[in-house]
Structure 1
Amino acid sequence: MAVVVIGTLDTKGEEIRFARDVVESQGLDVHVVDVGVMGEPTIEPDTSAEAVAEAAGTTLERLRADADRGAAMEAMGEGAAAVAERLHEDGTLKGVLGLGGSGNTSIATTAMRALPVGVPKLMVSTMASGDTEPYVGSRDVTMMYSVADIEGLNQLSRTVIANAALAVAGMVANDPGIDVEEKPTIGITMFGVTTPCVKTARKMLEDRGYETIVFHATGTGGRAMEDLIREGVVDGVLDVTTTEWADELVGGVLNAGPERLDAAGEAGIPQVVSTGALDMVNFGPRDSVPDEFEGRRFHVHNPQVTLMRTTPEENAELGRIVAEKLNAATGPTALALPLGGVSMLDVEGEDFHDPDADAALFDALREHLDDDVELLELDVPINDDAFAEAMVERLDAYMRAAGHAPE
């Protein structure tokens, strides 16, 4: 088994060699992938830059001739991802280590994101102390800040690179001894304002013999669930919290993209969906809210998170979108409506209580929902135990009918 080290050997050969030697000192093999474009490698790679470019459907000569750095980085990222997937499939790749600045961080993490969750992935990067979402995405990529630029070896860079190499070696070489019991797996979405519902539902599902994976509906959480559904990790979905669609529609910071709510329907797996936290759009600190929203109703969740109440018009559009997503499902699907409020803040006496906005959401859902989607309406708030129980009962029935019941 080998640790794959991805780097630009025309500029970072010395540093890659050092990382390789540290990993090999732990008794592991190393497979070096060169993703440098403009110069010749200063150490011998196991997979050449020419092979990486070819894996992306181009040639190194063409990338050099075009002299378009952005296009070259994109192509080498695609090629590195293809190489990493191949090495993983043939059993060679057991972990990945990347070193570099913004260029190789983009390339190496593209390869890392192509690998399954659970494969060790560590990126030593000058970019790791800023916004890492573009590099991490919905995968378990570990980012380590290099502190100084990765340019030559010195007392600081040796320590940081050695720590990273030892960390990857440790993850690859040591069996954590985790027993994985095969159970039908339910993906659940949660936000702070829907936590009581999810806690109750999760316990009920686990008591019935299901395994549950809870995803924080922060944009990346929703994308992670959609990805794992497509990979076959998730057998059924209790989509309590669809709030990411409010951010996608209105312009908040926690959107999961326009494909949110697609994967379960496309896979045909059982799903029970609700309207959790569609009463809110998420922004950062209060002074980061765009000026166009001044005059709206806000709730400061904490110094870093500001929530904005969705309007009746926005809720009507959200209802249409959610209904159309569910109408396209190929498997058993139900929509559960908590008529007493869609979040902890949307109940009488709380900041976002707005019966008109809720009515606009529920009416649009009823209007646009096809008969193939089962509609459950309960005159309770979303965090009432009765609502969690109703969702679980329906999903459990779907799972048993589909032959996915726990043994």
Structure 2
Amino acid sequence: MSNVEEKPIYLDNHASTQVDPRVVAVILHTMTTGYGNPNSVDHVFGDMAAKMVVAAQCEVAKLIGGDPDGVHFTTGASEAIQLAIAHAVSNRPHRDIPLRVALSAVEHRAVLDAISLQEDNGNVVVTWLPVDNFARLDLEALKSACASGIDLVCVMAANNEVGTLYPIEQIAQIASSANASILIDATQAAGHIPIFAVDWGITYLTVSGHKMYGPKGIGALVTLPNISIRYSHGRLRSTGNGTPNVPGIVGLGEACRLRQMEMIQDEPRIAAQRNHLEALLLSTISGLEVNGDRSNRLSHNLHLSLPDVPNDAVLARLRNRLAISTGAACTSAVDTPSHVLNAMGLAEELQNGAFRIGLGKFTTDDEIERAAGYFAAAVEDTRRAIAAI
């Protein structure tokens, strides 16, 4: 028997992904060779850096079917969301009337917080769109809201907890028919599903590097090309924004390029691994339930609940073996129920026993087998401990 300790298994790819080594290589090249300031266009070093930024804009645009002129680099998806909402508020049809916004209660916390801030300032009024117990959006409710008058629709492309995919092309058509703008939070979906932002008429779309095997601290707001955004870290024509994060921008561009090439091959394989893990766990753990829309979800998402086992007790037993989470990384450190699961109407015991598992392109078949064993053993151990009390 080997005495070598096995490396912990990483299955928390919704929170953050491993940076692809090829992305690391281009970032290193940028830092050691293309280190010029892209705003310094008086010499070849600045020109080289500027061309790298423009090339990255093109790669981001290609991945989500956008226009390169509409790619505005930010420090991440949260900042991109804030920027999009602030732009929509500033350009609302009537300055003395709040922006009419429609969104669901399962949106990412970054969207909810940005809207809440604008609401507190009297800049927006909100129409809440219901979801069912699979986190699916009620499209009839959206149509009704738009018919009554909506200026901005905010919908995620894929839920960051239970993985449910949303029909964003259809949603964009509904918004467009009511002359409403639309913000698509594609943070979890970009690089995993096909998106055609310009063709679908998506006004604002957000992406993040560290959700698709790129670096942290870089994201983008992608707008229709006729929209003018004054503030953006990566735009060379911006004013007063300092030096662009060229290594991060180039890393995001490379991550987008690789997802364009490999998404079609990667996602079915990852989905097959997810399905195998799901089958293993369902066959060995009694009472286990799968949350979300199992027929229409992200390929790497597996969201589970155990009604009789507190999730924190299970995770305590897995900490050094298996990295999974109880929910979204933005709220997992806060001892509050998931707003997503609550909006879905899940019973309290299912919320308290919820686990989010996120596979990735670097997950191996062996890790799937080991992860199933670790998880089942942790649940069994927790149940024994509870029974002994």
TM-score (norm 1): 0.28
Q: Which has the higher contact order (CA 8 A, sep 6+)?
A: 2
Bigger proportion of residues as strand:
1
Larger Rg: 1
